[in-house]
Amino acid sequence: MFSKLASFITTGLVLAGVASAMPAFHAVEEREAEAGVNIQLCLSVNFGNCITVPAVTGSCVNLVGGLAGWNDDVSGVQIPLGFVCTFYDNFSCLSSGASDNGDSVTLQGGNWPSFLSVPGDNGVNVNWNDRTSSFLCTPLI
């Protein structure tokens, strides 16, 4: 009887250990989903005078503080493949929400050597040169 009770308790402890390990795995998945991406912002067209800026996926990056010199001065960008970034002419990644208001542009991963002509959110190319005050990047789904 004692050995059956000990076996039952041991089995319960093993199952409890497996169950407690599951949330840790889930936390790792969440951290990976929140992982950052590095993009290059450039002051000059054709990738002149660039810096690498880390961005946490889904978090707004304001061009303030150490990045204040880049506010309203970005002329090109390199975005890693598999990501999409929206650039705003307002801080805090704020937009009026209308797709044709011209206060943001969304670009897919790749090289954008000049913001003088980029696809606007309404499908027409726009001059986005020296307008970026904040941006937000997310993985393509």
Q: Which helix (H) or strand (E) holds 20?
A: helix 2-33
pLDDT of 8 > 90? The answer is no
How large is the average pLDDT for residues 38-55?
96
| pLDDT confidence of residue 34 | 53
* pLDDT reported for residue 97: 64
pLDDT in tens, 89-127: 999 999 876 555 689 999 999 999 999 999 987 778 999
- The pLDDT tens digits of the residues spanning 49-82 come to 999 999 999 999 999 999 999 999 999 999 999 9
The predicted pLDDT at position 61 comes to: 97
- Cβ burial of 135 (10 Å; 0-12, 13-18, 19+) is buried
* Reported pTM: 0.73
Q: What is the pLDDT of residue 100?
A: 56
Q: Look at residue 39 in the predicted model and tell me its pLDDT.
A: 96
CA distances to 20, 30, 56, 79, 94 from 137, in Å? 33, 17, 8, 9, 14
Residue 36 reports pLDDT greater than 90: no
Alpha-carbon span 135 to 2, nearest angstrom: 65
Residue 2 predicted with pLDDT over 50:
no
Q: Which position has the higher pLDDT, 32 or 61?
A: 61
Residue 3: both structure tokens together: 């050995």
> What average pLDDT score do residues 11-40 get?
50
